[in-house]
Every structure is written in C-alpha cells, then in structure tokens.
Amino acid sequence: MENKRAGGILYLVVPCYNEEEVLPHTAEVMRDKLRRMTIQNIISVKSKIIFVNDGSSDKTWKIISDLCRCDSIFSGLCFSRNYGHQSAILAGMMAAREHADMVVTIDADLQQDIEALDKFVKCYQEGCEIVYGVRNDRDTDGLFKKLSANMFYKFMHLLGCNVMSNHADYRLLSKRALDALAEYREVNLFLRGLIPTMGFQSDVVYFDVKKREAGQSKYTLRKMMTLATNGITSMSTRPIQIITVLGFLVSLFSFAMIIYCIVDWFSGRNVPGYTTSLVVSLLMGGLTIFSLGIVGEYIGKIYLETKARPRYIIESIIWKEAETNKQEEKEEVDTE
C-alpha cells in the first residue's frame, strides 16, 4: 500500500532548564540526526529543532541564540521566568503546530535515545496520530531513582490517573493531535495524563535509556511529587471518593464506640475510658485535617483555573525560516 505520509515536516521540541553544559553537544547530535533522516527522505528538509528556555539562570538562552543565528534548523523560545517542564513542552508544541506535520518532544540531556526517531516517524507514516516512547528498563538509574519512579507510577494508577508506566514525555504528536490538544485550556497541566484522553490511534516505541552526557538531572524528588500532585488533582477525583469511604468507615467505628459506651454504662462498670477517648479524638482529628487538606488541594486548583492566568509568557522568539534564509527575531511578550 502506498505510503501517504512519507517525507513530512518534523519538529523536535526540546525543553531546557539550566542545560549549558550539555546543550552544545545535544544540538550537534540532534542536527546530525535530522540531516541523516532528511537525506534518507524520511522527513522534509523543512524540519526544525525548537529549544524552549524555561527561565534558566545560566547561559542556556545565550547558547540557544547563538545556535539559531548560525543555523536555520534551530529556533528558540524564551520564557519570562520558570514555568515548569510541562509548560515548556506545551509552548514548543503550540509554536510548531502551524508549521509541522508532526512534533516529537524530547529532553535535552540525550538520555532518551534519539535514534528511535525513525521508529516514531514510521508509526506516524502508518497512520498513528500519537506515538509514546517507553523506556525498556531503568538500569541507568540509581536505587533511589528506581524506587521513587516505581512508586510514582503505582501511586498514580492507584489514585485513578491513567498514565503509561515508564513514559516520560518522549512522544510524537501529529498536527491533528496538536490541534486537538490546543482545545484544552486548563492551567493545571499534566500532559502525560491529558494526551491519552484524546483517543486518537496510537502506538508505542520502546527505547534504551542512555547515561546523561553532562550536568545533573533537574527532576528532583520535590518536582516529581509536584508532578504527581498535579496529575492526580487534574485527572482524577478518586482521592475525594476515598475520603467519602473513610468518612463512612469512621462513622461506623464511632457508632460502634457509642454502643460500646452505652453497654458499658448499663453494666455498671466505672471505667475512666481515657485511652479510648484519646484514641478516638486523635483518629477523628487526624482524618478531618487530612481530608480538609485533600479537598483544599482541589479547591486551590479550581481557584487557579477560574482566574485563567496565562500558562506561560514568552519573552523572546528567534525563528529563522530555512526556505527563505530570512531570520525573524522578536523581542516581545506573548502569552498562552
């Protein structure tokens, strides 16, 4: 059967936060890969690489600017401050949406095997609108990283957030999928859970994870916990349902304690009941505070959504069109 999607325009979206140590090497590897794919007629010569500077405090944006001025294959977006990894990915995809047939998001540390791009594009050419990159194993991670990552996915599944295990934002989206994603307007972004809800034809590409070329991982335990909280509160109401069940069970326990106390009183036993009162009070107080915290987290997300603040602000754009060899630079404030 004739392939109707051969030679499409591919845009790589690369979120960057304090990546000055690895970025020059990353840019060279990515440029070489796209050029090889172009020579093989897998993708169009109009394919590009978009670096998104997520409010870095080092020389990341200067390096991106120099790359863009030297080669039209590179483009750059610069946030006015740090908005987070998910916002950086979204900004890059939305910038590429008008120009690309397909977009692949990939981290700047080159741990995600860039040679798997051929498999991504092949799945797209066979009709898939979304292709997920899933790592084969976690052999390159330390013990703590392995444990925390496994706990993250199990915790997300337990609380009703439908995410794909060992998939970390290395994925391909077609233009059709990007157009659909643009219709989602929530401020509380969790793309790993949001994109599967679109329901397009999808596939999975497995890849080996490499060691980081330079620098240190920016995904700390704190950021992973924040990502998990955002994912749960934006994609699932199961925590509130759990509170309802716990409330019912505690009510049954309290009712049983009331019956016990009444029977104890009628039996004529004069037991002070200090321990029982203390245990019940602590149990009820702890459960009440914990429940209020979960409900408050949801109310806080509703508060942010109703204010509808920009998900990110783009301070600077450097975009050079390859076909005209004409560079357009913008120093402006753009909001999404």
Same-domain status, 185 and 255: no
Q: Is the pLDDT of residue 35 over 70?
A: yes
Same-domain status, 211 and 326: yes
Q: What are the E-state strand segments in the chain?
A: 10-16, 48-53, 74-79, 102-105, 130-135, 171-174, 202-207, 313-321, 326-335
Same-domain status, 132 and 52: yes
CATH number for 324:
3.90.550.10
Same-domain status, 46 and 180: yes
Whether residue 267 lies inside any domain: the answer is: yes
Among 38-52, 92-106, 287-301, 303-317, whose mean pLDDT is lowest?
Answer: 287-301
pLDDT digit string, tens, across residues 269-287 = 655 665 567 667 767 776 7
Domain that holds residue 289: 238-307
pLDDT digit string, tens, across residues 75-106 = 999 999 999 889 999 999 999 999 999 999 99
**pLDDT confidence bin for 144, thresholds 50/70/90:** low
Whether residue 154 lies inside any domain: the answer is: no
pLDDT digit string, tens, across residues 183-208 = 988 877 888 888 888 889 999 999 88
DSSP 8-state assignment for residue 41:
T
State how far the alpha carbon of 42 is from the alpha carbons of 57, 81, 131, 148, 243, in Å. 37, 36, 16, 38, 52
Q: What is the pTM of this model?
A: 0.73
Task: Note the pLDDT of residue 330.
Answer: 45
Same-domain status, 35 and 95: yes
108 or 305: which leads in pLDDT: 108
Whole-angstrom distance, CA of residue 177 vs CA of residue 31: 25
Residue with tokens 């404030």: 333
Same-domain status, 202 and 287: no
Same-domain status, 207 and 97: yes
Q: For the stretch 20-53, what's the b/e string if a residue is b when 16 or more beta carbons lie within 10 angstroms of its beta carbon?
A: bbbbeebbeebbebbeebbeeebbbebbbbbbbb
**pLDDT confidence bin for 314, thresholds 50/70/90:** very high
